[in-house]
Every structure is written in structure tokens, then in C-alpha cells.
């Protein structure tokens, strides 16, 4: 096994810059609140978008009271929601992927549906073999 080597200051700075850039582009919660009128948890993301989720889509919160839901907090640098009285923790990335669907999953589903529709039409057209044989002036077929 390789021996651990302490990174140089230059390597450390490069890693830190990459991490800051990566984190900057990831969706995180900056605020969360319970909208009693619509019975939804509203989450404000770091890109300015506000998304609302019905209680039925939030695991462990289906039977929570409005008073309990009013105490929802953003934790973990914006990657999680927490309600102390319910001992409930919700992962923001997982919630967004589950409810909105990940890009990879949406593409896979679209490809599968397109393939299924194409199959019902008879599938892909057959490829024509290359026209490699040509007839010479004497009428015999010869390879080009």
C-alpha cells in the first residue's frame, strides 16, 4: 500500500479551489418554511429557485402538525432539512432527484420509450450492403 504523502501548499490550494467551484454549482437550500395554506414545504435554493413539496412526498412528515413543521431548519451547509421535534432529516439532493428526476434517469426513460416506439414501427431499417462489386465492360463482376 502506498504511503500517505502530505499535499504541498500548492496542491492544497488547487484542491480547495476545485472544491469551492464544485460546491458553488451544486443546488443547496438557503431557506425552508412550511406553507400552511397550501400544505407544502417550500425550499429556496441557492440559485434563487423556490420549490414546494407536498407533505405526502416528504418521508416522515406526512402526519406532522403545522406547529412541528414551522420549526423546519436548513442544516449541513444547505444539503439537508431537519425538524428537531420529529427527529426528521431530509436530504435536499435526494429529495430533488426523487421528486424532479435526475437528468440521467430522464434520458434513460426517454431512450427506452423511443426504442419501444421504434420497435413497434418495425425497428431500425436494415443497412444496405456496400456496393463493392462493379461490372466491367466484359460483363464480369469484379471487386473494385
Q: Which three cell numbers stand for residue 6?
A: 502530505
- Please tell me the distance from the alpha carbon of residue 106 to that of residue 96, in angstroms, as a whole number: 13
Residue 96: pLDDT band (50, 70, 90) is confident
Percentage of residues of the chain with pLDDT beyond 90: 33
Residue 29: pLDDT band (50, 70, 90) is very high
- How much is the pLDDT for 18? 85
- Please tell me the distance from the alpha carbon of residue 77 to that of residue 50, in angstroms, as a whole number: 17
Which among 79, 74, 104 is positioned nearest to 93, based on CA atoms?
79
- How much is the pLDDT for 142? 58
140 or 20, which is more confident? Answer: 20
Query: Where is mean pLDDT largest: 44-48, 59-63, 107-111?
Result: 44-48
Question: How large is the average pLDDT for residues 39-62?
Answer: 90
CA angle at 54 for the pair 65 and 100, rounded to the nearest 5°: 145
**Torsion angle, CA of 38/41/46/49, rounded to 10 degrees?**
-30
Under CATH, to which class is 28-100 assigned? alpha beta
- How much is the pLDDT for 118? 78
Angstrom distances, CA of residue 46 to CA of 18, 42, 91, 94, 115: 19, 13, 15, 16, 37
Question: How large is the average pLDDT for residues 91-116?
Answer: 78
Q: Where are the domains of the chain?
A: 28-100
Residue 75 has pLDDT above 90, yes or no: yes
- How much is the pLDDT for 40? 94
- Please tell me the distance from the alpha carbon of residue 53 to that of residue 60, in angstroms, as a whole number: 13
Percentage of residues of the chain with pLDDT beyond 70: 85
- Please tell me the distance from the alpha carbon of residue 13 to that of residue 7, in angstroms, as a whole number: 10
Q: Which three cell numbers stand for residue 76?
A: 449541513
pTM, rounded to two decimals: 0.58
Amino acid at each position: 500500500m502506498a504511503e500517505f504523502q502530505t499535499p504541498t501548499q500548492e496542491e492544497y490550494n488547487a484542491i480547495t479551489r476545485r472544491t469551492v467551484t464544485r460546491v458553488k454549482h451544486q443546488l443547496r437550500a438557503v431557506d425552508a418554511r412550511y406553507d400552511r395554506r397550501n400544505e407544502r414545504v417550500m425550499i429556496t435554493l441557492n440559485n434563487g429557485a423556490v420549490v414546494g413539496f407536498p407533505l405526502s412526498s416528504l418521508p416522515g412528515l406526512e402526519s406532522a402538525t403545522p406547529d412541528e413543521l414551522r420549526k423546519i431548519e436548513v442544516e449541513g451547509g444547505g444539503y439537508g432539512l431537519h425538524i428537531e421535534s420529529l427527529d426528521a432529516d431530509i436530504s435536499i439532493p435526494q429529495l430533488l432527484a426523487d421528486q424532479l428526476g435526475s437528468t440521467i434517469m430522464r434520458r434513460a426513460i426517454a431512450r427506452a420509450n423511443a426504442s419501444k416506439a421504434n420497435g413497434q414501427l418495425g425497428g431500425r431499417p436494415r443497412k444496405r450492403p456496400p456496393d463493392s462489386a462493379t461490372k466491367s465492360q466484359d460483363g464480369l463482376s469484379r471487386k473494385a
